[in-house]
Amino acid sequence: MKKEANVILAKCAKDQLYGIRIEKRDHDWVRTWAFKLQEEMAEKEGFDKVQLTGSFYTDEEYPGCPYCGTKKCFVCGSCGKVSCYDGSDRVVCNWCGAGGKASRDDGALDVTGGGF
Ligand SMILES: [Zn+2]
Ligand SMILES: [Zn+2]
């Protein structure tokens, strides 16, 4: 079976971009790897254009954010981009600065819903 994989762009603290490699398993996306990325590189590769639907899970081998090490991230309800999530009750988007209340961490993210 052919593996379907992609890279989504995420941001840690200010200007710290990284790519998350995701792999399709059944109907869900599983995060398998993360690596540091320069903005120009991301644009060149088109990582900033990747739009995906479905749930996101984390593989046991997923190393976490290359900057802060968190394995959790969230999708901003305002801009739809991915930021690191430190596990606190409130989240702040590292892209647009929008804040929100974090949903309970059930290990899955809905990238189409936009809710926290
Ligand atoms: Zn981080
Ligand atoms: Zn945002």
Cβ atoms within 10 Å, residue 22: 25
DSSP E strands, the chain: 5-11, 17-25, 28-36, 56-58, 73-75, 82-84, 90-92, 99-101
Structure tokens at 103: 């949903």
Distance 93 CA to ligand 2 centre (A): 5
Longest dimension (CA), the chain: 41
**Cα 22 to Cα 41: distance, rounded to the nearest angstrom:** 18
Tell me, yes or no, if the pTM score tops 0.85: no
Give the model confidence (pLDDT) of 13-48 as tens digits.
878 999 999 999 888 889 999 999 998 998 999 988
**Ligand 2 (ion): which residues have CB within 5 A?**
76, 78-79, 93, 95-96, 98
Give the model confidence (pLDDT) of 37-92 as tens digits.
998 998 999 988 877 777 778 899 999 999 999 998 888 888 888 999 887 888 88
**Cα 94 to Cα 85: distance, rounded to the nearest angstrom:** 10
